[in-house]
Structure 1
């Protein structure tokens, strides 16, 4: 099987790493040298072009990966550390990774930052329930972003995780990041943060990013480990614990969507993950798997067109297998990190082609009038065309809504730049972290929208198809959890696309919208949450509906079922989207 980290790109697209070897723990011993040596060796296996080291001494061990210290002399303190990082950020043409030199982590954990297709601003966080401390500063995350962060000076209310000492800054945020680092340096130099040492630089930078209004993706560790060290005994134990987790299996777990549709979750993803490794070993690309899926769907349409009971059953089985591969192509893309705009476009396009080809095959088979299939013309073509038109209208609604939300996000990104106070411990001034509710890039890697997730009347594009292969995510629509839906701190304010502060959830006319209150209430219980996913008839449920009704009954029943359920889904989506829009 290919090395999971061997697909690193080269040149300007690669990240630049800054390793903060400013604590004595960076020099702790481990197999092969020091913790610093171990960390720089890991970075050499990732798509990192240069590795810079900030240290208190110029006596830096030069690792084989090209490690070198910034400047000819050691850093003079916290303010100097921050200015050196700002200098790298201003000169870099790729993302900048900032990582503590005393970090003991799985390589896969670091890859979650530098190999993410969005190449965005992100921080490595854990939600294992560990007590916060100087090396584990507290954070609060919503479903996708870090919305508050703390240090020994800064507070972060209602925290639900800890920051693990590694963050990446995407290219669009580099200029603002450099300015923030320089501002932090000035404040540190004047004693604005009290007795803070260089070990807190990563956490301080995270606070600066969040309070400056940058959207910071929460890269969750899950089973993986990333811990900062304070002593030799800790380092020895931490390195030993890394072997307790199979990084490859953890990567495979992360490749399977955790918030998919009901049918995709329980009837496909529960076993399709076992196809991913063999596909990778065979050298199959996600696009190749998409092509095989299209071929199976075409064969299903041919068997449906035969019109016999055996043909209908065979077509149903082939359609199910086609959908399985439609999930596998996305899982393979995430597992191998083989993302491309072409792959995302092919997947979305061929999903429609496969579905409409199956409609055609069903109509042809029924129109043949074979008695065993209960067939006959009986207006079957009108039903088939009606089902196709309804589905096209649903997709049109989704894409138009996605475009409107993306436009609003761009306006919001241009206007919502109010910086929070860097010297206010509570940092509550204007809560710029809520900009994440509108800025909209999906940390889940879904390219446009997601069927049936989140808000009442969720979208109908791609959930369950398993493919997240866009080079950079686009704003989510239906799949985005609504601000204040119970997954965020209740004290959080909200920001609208024009930069005006909005009331906390439950206040004001928009938040009091009956539809949104109902939607949020349904999120609190698993049965109603699944109901919200199922009722919008996402692609997984559609494929299951077609396969079951075709195998057990006939095409007429299939089309009627699609029209009835699809009509209900369309009304549900329209009401949800209308209520959501009016709530703004």
Structure 2
């Protein structure tokens, strides 16, 4: 069995540090901004740091990135030497165990010369800009750190070479060498590569152009408690209403004790499953007190279901296997709770209602996950076989949505509407609350009827949304 250092190196990211930006040589403490970045990278899971030195302008810089991407055997991150950032901000991308393709972004949409606008939807960067590429309805800004996962290295190299050719022939307008990483992000997004938006939250990651700006950026770092931010960001920012306000408000305080006790996320998932099984046993008793006890246990089971994800994000130990096990656990928990409620009811038609509620649940998940899988497959096929769907020479991104999607985008800016959209699809938090409340206050028949009504509305809503997006 390989030792931990071997495993760490095999999954680590290689970094291309762009020393081609003049501001990288600005003073910072006892060294320069480049020195500061090097010290930070030494504390992160980075296999190697390759310094790209100035020598031939933007085209040469991009070809240098392409050359390194062609020979790399793992994820490659491109970082400009003029970046001033919290170590934790870099870790959001570089310590992610998936080592996938992603870009460091801030939801502060105030764009500037060294913070180009982007549009983020569903945790992905769907449109990216530069001084040449325009982003309509931008809702975030790119903060200079771009990582290409191993499977996207060929796409990164192709994009870098194409951009280098366009830059050398003057077809990209008045772009400057400091925009190399911005252009690479534009190219990856426009060629169909899925780029995860790694949000920095209240952390700082700013590119600077002068000594005063560098000094101000370094001073601003001290105003943020990185440890507190790491704890806060372990709680999902885009979670459902019930999970956000009735679980995460207190479950976050269990994260650090769990870490000290060396409790793993998978252990928490197992305990959550056990509590759901006990809830089903109490529901099967068929008494009011049994349903009340079952509702409480079901709520605690869901709270631990939230905690396992929070713990995984805090420790950055999540994995595809863990995510799959968590999802399967959720489905089985609902199934055994339905069975427990049906066993505890004297209504002869209850099994028909339970089966119908389960069918509606399966249909909802099929609508949701089959669409996501098809979209991911289409993106992979497009990146591997097709030419870029949009030319990198276009100065403006003119993609338009259908009337339904335009209306949805406008409404999404309102907080109340955003929460209503989350609630109407009946996510697992709302389903848990619906089951617990209706079972404790009424009976199993009321629970299944409520699930059928709300689940039916959710299925129709999701189907309409998927059809509208597919028609775009």
TM-score with structure 2 setting the length: 0.87
Q: Is the 8 A contact 1:300 1:318 kept in 2?
A: yes
Give the equivalent residue in structure 2 for 1:435: none
Q: 1:276 aligns with which of 249, 255, 259?
A: 255
Query: In structure 2, do the counterparts of structure 1 residues 179 and 301 end up closer, same or farther at CA, with 3 Å as the change threshold?
Result: closer
Kindly state the Cα deviation for residue 319 of structure 1 after the two structures are TM-superposed.
0.7
Structure 2 counterpart of 1:545, from 434, 441, 449:
434
Give 1:378 shift: 4.2
Query: Which structure has greater helix proportion?
Result: 2
For the residue of structure 2 that corresponds to 1:93, the secondary structure is coil
Q: Match of 2:95?
A: 115
Answer yes or no: is 1:536 the counterpart of 2:398.
no
Deviation at 1:92? 0.3
Structure 2 counterpart SS, 1:306 = coil
- Describe the shift of the 1:8–1:150 C-alpha distance in structure 2 as closer, same or farther (beyond 3 A): farther
| Aligned: 1:156 with 2:134 | yes
1:539 Cα deviation from its structure 2 partner = 1.6
Instruction: State the match for 1:67 in structure 2.
Output: none
Confirm or deny that 1:318 pairs with 2:318. no
1:417 corresponds to? 387
Q: 1:288 to 1:33 in 2, by over 3 A?
A: same
- Given candidates 112, 118, 132, the residue that maps to 1:132 is 112
Equivalent residue, structure 2, for 1:391: 361
Q: Which residue of 2 aligns with 1:227?
A: 206
C-alpha change, 1:336 and 1:229, in structure 2 (3 Å) is same
Q: Which residue of 2 aligns with 1:83?
A: 63
1:287-298 matched pairs, under 5 angstroms: 287-298=266-277
2:247 counterpart SS class: helix
1:238 deviates by 2.1
Which residue does 1:96 correspond to in 2? 76
What is the TM-score normalised by the length of structure 1?
0.71
1:567-582 aligned at under 5 Å gives the runs: 567-577=456-466, 581=470
Cα RMSD (Å):
3.1
**Which piece of structure 1 moves more, 336-345 or 24-33?**
24-33
Distance 2:108 2:371 in 1: 37
Deviation at 1:248, TM superposition (A): 2.2
Which whole-Å deviations, capped at 9, do the CAs of 1:285-343 have from their partners, x for residues lacking one?
11111011011111212222233333222211111010011111112222222122221
Q: Contact 1:138/1:156 (CA < 8 Å) preserved in 2?
A: no
Paired residues, what number? 466
DSSP 3-state at the match of 1:142: strand
For structure 2, list consecutive stretches of 5 or more residues without a partner in the other structure: none
CA deviation after TM superposition for structure 1 residue 200, in Å: 3.5
Gaps of 5+ in 1: 1-5, 57-74, 367-375, 432-491, 494-503, 506-510
Q: Judge conservation of contact 1:146–1:218 (CA < 8 Å) in 2.
A: no
Distance 2:440 2:446 in 1: 11
Deviation per CA, 1:356-378, whole angstroms, max 9, x where unpaired? Answer: 22222223333xxxxxxxxx354
Larger radius of gyration: 1
Instruction: State the secondary structure of the residue aligned to 1:10.
Output: helix
- Tell me which residue corresponds to 1:176: 155
Structure 2 CA distance for aligned equivalents of residues 382 and 194 of structure 1: 66
- In 2: Cα distance, 1:7 partner to 1:274 partner: 32
Alignment equivalent of 1:427, drawn from 392, 395, 420: 395
Contact (CA 8 Å) 2:93, 2:103: kept in 1 or not? yes
Rounded Cα–Cα distance in structure 1 between residues aligned with 2:406 and 2:166: 43
C-alpha distance in 1, partners of 2:119/2:468? 26
The farther-off stretch of 319-328 and 399-408 is 399-408
Quick one: distance in 1 between partners of 2:111 and 2:347? 69
**Equivalent residue for 1:266?**
245
* 2:344 aligned counterpart, secondary structure: helix
Shift, 1:131, TM fit: 5.3
